[in-house]
Amino acid sequence: MSITTNDLKNGITLDLPDGLFQVVEFQHVKPGKGGAFVRTTLRNVRTGAVLERTFRAAEKVEQAVIDKREMQFLYRDADDYVFMDNTSYEQLHVPPATLGPAAGYLVEGASVILQMHKDEIVGVDLPAAVELAVAETEPGIQGDRVSGARKPATLETGLVVQVPLFVDTGDRIKVDTRSGEYLTRV
């Protein structure tokens, strides 16, 4: 779908010759002399790299159509993650590299929204926080009451987060999916 740079909004995805880019920020500039232009900050959907790009005003660009599909994570099959489409019940095998950091927050039965461009997964929408079980952590040392002291804990998905000393193996904790930080014990 073709749009002009005058129609840009934060969050839309552009299909540019050098890849898929999401608009992070944009600014229309009208200098005293010369033509108006649009200064943008774009994030590469596949690599996460951020770049600055300037377009002429009213320049035509292709908007990528991103289809958001709700999927349920079923299980791991060898290296792949197997998802089921909640409407068509079609199963999809996804390599961990495609999911990126989102793979560390997926437990069997979890629902996620996969952002698809044609047949390619270009992003994963996770809930703001997820509950995960602590698979392994050092026991807290009795009497060590240093305020804010942390220790590493390996979660059921293999993700390692820093947790307070009172968290033990087997506890369920809530983790922020945007920052990867411990929020609370459940």
Owner of token pair 């596949």: 46
- Please state whether the predicted TM-score (pTM) of the whole model is above 0.85: no
Identity of residue 130: V
Residues 85 and 48: their CA atoms lie apart, in Å, by: 26
Predicted confidence at residue 172, as pLDDT, reads 94
Going across the sheet that includes 172-176, the strands are 160-164, 150-155, 129-137, 172-176, 182-185
In the chain, which residues have pLDDT < 50? none
Domains in the chain, please, with CATH?
Answer: 2-62 (2.30.30.30), 67-125 (2.40.50.140), 129-185 (2.40.50.140)
Predicted confidence at residue 144, as pLDDT, reads 60
Predicted confidence at residue 136, as pLDDT, reads 92
Predicted confidence at residue 143, as pLDDT, reads 60
Q: How far is residue 71 from each of residues 83, 85, 110, measured CA to CA in Å?
A: 6, 5, 8
Predicted confidence at residue 186, as pLDDT, reads 86
